Structure 1
Amino acid sequence: MIKNTVIALVAVAAFAGAAAPAFAESIFGDNPSEATRDFTSNSIISQLQQRGIDASSVEDWNGLVRAYVTLEDGTQAMQFYTPGSLQRVTL
């Protein structure tokens, strides 16, 4: 059942990711409900984890996705990604 939920989240996130450039000011859109914000965050975390990135939470940061990631040595770091494609951005 969890596998089906993850698949559904990824599918929705893929469609939502295509629309991300349309609202570059926020990864969540304009005035999102708490449920929408949680769903979007969980979708992005799932996508990052499927890429081998151990993300524990994400948030909007000036039009980028700021992810809190646990590194191989056990430390936690912030990493930044573009909305939609989730390509890593170095600042």
Structure 2
Amino acid sequence: MIKNSVVALVTAAALAGVAMPAMAASDPITAESSSDSFNRDYVQYQLQSKGVNATSVEQWGNYVRAFVVGDDGRVTMQYFDEDTLAPIAM
């Protein structure tokens, strides 16, 4: 009896573990669209090629918001034009 209960609990836990990621991506508000043309890795690479020490980037309206490590080691948010990646003063 205990053996069957343990097997049932392990099976239920395994099924829940498989189902949770599928349910998490079903929310259209938080899930990224497959038609999203913003490529974070590419934009970050382009900024780094311009000498900007960006650790992460994200699309922020018509701008790119980047987290940049300065020479003093401090991280700041900087904004760039979406098309040219020129710095934007806000």
TM range (shorter): 0.5 to 0.7
Q: What is the letter of the counterpart of residue 88 of structure 1?
A: P
Q: Which has the higher helix share?
A: 1
The equivalent residue for 2:50 is 51
Could you state the TM-score of these two structures normalised by the residue count of structure 1?
0.58
* 4+ long deviations beyond 2 Å: 31-37
| DSSP-derived class of the 1:69 partner | strand
Aligned residue pair count = 59
- Higher RCO (CA 8 Å, separation ≥ 6 residues): 1
The equivalent residue for 2:33 is 32
Q: What is the letter of the counterpart of residue 66 of structure 1?
A: R
Q: Where in structure 2 are there 5+ consecutive unaligned residues?
A: 1-31
Deviation at 1:36, TM superposition (A): 5.5
Q: Where in structure 1 are there 5+ consecutive unaligned residues?
A: 1-30
After superposition, the CA RMSD in angstroms is 2.1
Could you state the TM-score of these two structures normalised by the residue count of structure 2?
0.58
The equivalent residue for 2:61 is 62
Q: Distance in 2 between matches of 1:49 and 1:68?
A: 12
The equivalent residue for 2:40 is 41
Q: Distance in 1 between matches of 2:49 and 2:58?
A: 18
Which structure is larger by alpha-carbon Rg, 1 or 2? 2
